[in-house]
Amino acid sequence: MFYIVEVEDYVRVEPRLFGLETSSAVARQLQDIYADYHDKEIGEVIGVINILEVGDGVIIPGDGSAYYKSRFKLLVWKPELQELVYGIVDEITNFGAFMNLGVMKGMIHISQTMDDYVSFSTTNTLLGKDSKRILKKRDACLARIVAISYRGDSPKIGLTMRQPGLGKLEWIKEEKKKLKSAAKKLNKDVKK
């Protein structure tokens, strides 16, 4: 889920930025601080949206940097259980697939890719035995977050596509057509 978070903190501005206007120096430093930044409480920082306030600077003896009490807004994405996510398959492995969610990656275990017996093909695809459905690199998919682990540097996200309305976008379109066709047939049968 995307959020806008307002933060109030002291921003440590390095001496290399002292030639800039104070608000510009704070903005540049915030961009450096929050590039590839993840926090369990607020999520993955996508970017600094706005700097609301920059206070007076303070210099601490022994540290050449200046500290400015600042208020600013961040755009963040925090994965949440049961959230629906759109992504592109980045990699297929013998145990599942990795999906690029834009902000970070999620993993779909082979057993969670479709309602079928799934095998890893020599062509680097996942193949459904009965359905003959194929999942390959660069496929656009809709999945649900079913697990989040915060061990390590960044969260690990577990996904499923084994629920109605989820999966490769082409599969979802096929299912909708089948449902519409079945509904039309049922309406004709009821009218008879």
Specify the pLDDT at position 183. 86
For 48-52, 135-139, 154-158, which range has the lowest pLDDT when averaged over its residues?
Answer: 154-158
Residue 179 has pLDDT above 90, yes or no: no
Report the pLDDT value the prediction gives residue 192, as an integer from 0 to 100: 64
Query: How many CA atoms, within 13 angstroms, populate the side-chain half-sphere of residue 90?
Result: 12
Render pLDDT for 94-153 as a digit per residue (tens, 0 to 9): 999 999 999 899 999 999 999 999 999 989 999 999 999 999 999 999 999 999 998 877
Considering the domain delimited by 84-179, tell me its CATH architecture.
Beta Barrel (2.40)
Supply the pTM of this predicted model.
0.81
Count CA atoms within 13 Å of residue 173 on its CB side: 5
What is the rounded CA–CA span in Å between residue 164 and residue 147?
18
Nearest by Cα to 75 from 179, 158, 160, 3: 3
How do the domains of the chain map onto residue ranges?
A: 2-77, 84-179
Q: pLDDT for 69-100, tens place per residue? A: 999 999 999 999 999 999 999 999 999 999 99
Q: The tokens of 101 are what?
A: 């969610």
Taking domain 2-77, whether its CATH number is 3.30.1490.120 is answered by yes
Q: What are phi and psi of 178, to 5 degrees?
A: -60, -40
Measure the CA–CA gap between 35 and 32, rounded to whole angstroms. Answer: 5
CB 30 within 8 A of CB 48: yes
What share of the chain has pLDDT > 90, as a percent? Answer: 78
Burial class from Cβ neighbours inside 10 Å (0-12, 13-18, 19+) for residue 6 reads exposed
> pLDDT at position 108, please?
97
Q: Which residues, 6 or more positions from 91, have their beta carbon under 8 angstroms from its beta carbon?
A: 97, 98, 137
